[in-house]
Structure 1
């Protein structure tokens, strides 16, 4: 279910290349990541060039696994340069109204989701303490999905506050350089931006140049 990326460092390009070579095929693209589906259709690999909240999402999936209200996580690996690789069970979309009802029940929370809600709150509070630009919980209906055995699960609840983070990187790169080490944001301009984009290449290049200058000024 998990493809060996080798013993050394691997970034998002290495991960995508390895999974595609093993027969995994594209099945989705969002703002932060792409998804590839396993040859047998039972698993998906979420590959992000830059996702500070990825480890917290993996922590949630593990901590709440017994509730069966989060995806089954087969493996998680932070990638070089701030990227993230999660391999989980394949999920299918649900109707927006059904997803909204699940989010509402999680927020109240309903008795059926009370335990999950407590775990979500604990991990999210940890992320907000430890991460600069950590956003609120994401109640996007697309984050509620269905497993092959019919369960509703919630995925990708945590996210970096992209508009604020990237606006700061563009206008005040020294602030981002001071708060996020270069090794943890090396590929932050390579996220797909499939939903919010397009992101012009010249803007990406200008942001990279500004951050590089800020890093040089710190050395």
Structure 2
């Protein structure tokens, strides 16, 4: 079955769903097949990582938040933990099965390691350029760099295999909202997520190739589109 057949099959299934119905979760008790886009990125990452240059950094997505005040480190750590727990794409890593198939492994939510230090252009560049191990993870690293007594930079680096430009906008918004809520001790009113990825449409028996395409529909989905992207101030 071709990918076009798979697309038409999934599209037909989506049209039969009740409007507003949540998409079913794929079974997390076993490895989840990677999408074709994720397999392409994984393969290219392996090639670039073997080179002496920093070619793999082409897939490093970044998010910077500047705080011109004293930083509440505990609130920042809690905000990071909240966002990563909320979006399992940020807890996903990739490994090959014994049969040589690339699969996704979703780790349980846990504390996010926040690297804290005084900044310099050299250290920021090193933090950005450090390679990711797609199998061991995590595929997100967070740093808090102090540039002056009341000038701080929250610097996130995420591999593109689990995020995209739209998702970074959403992450920006949610992290800022969670941080402010923890600082003030008030709840952050974020929209409830109605879907996550990977998903697995029900239907007839299918080949393993078709199953791989369906399990990760939409292809290379990252953070769910649960809110309009708004840059935090």
- TM-score over 0.5 for the alignment? no
Q: Greater relative contact order (Cα 8 A, min sep 6): structure 1 or 2? A: 2
TM-score (structure 1 length as normaliser):
0.26
Kindly name which structure, 1 or 2, has the bigger radius of gyration based on alpha carbons: 2
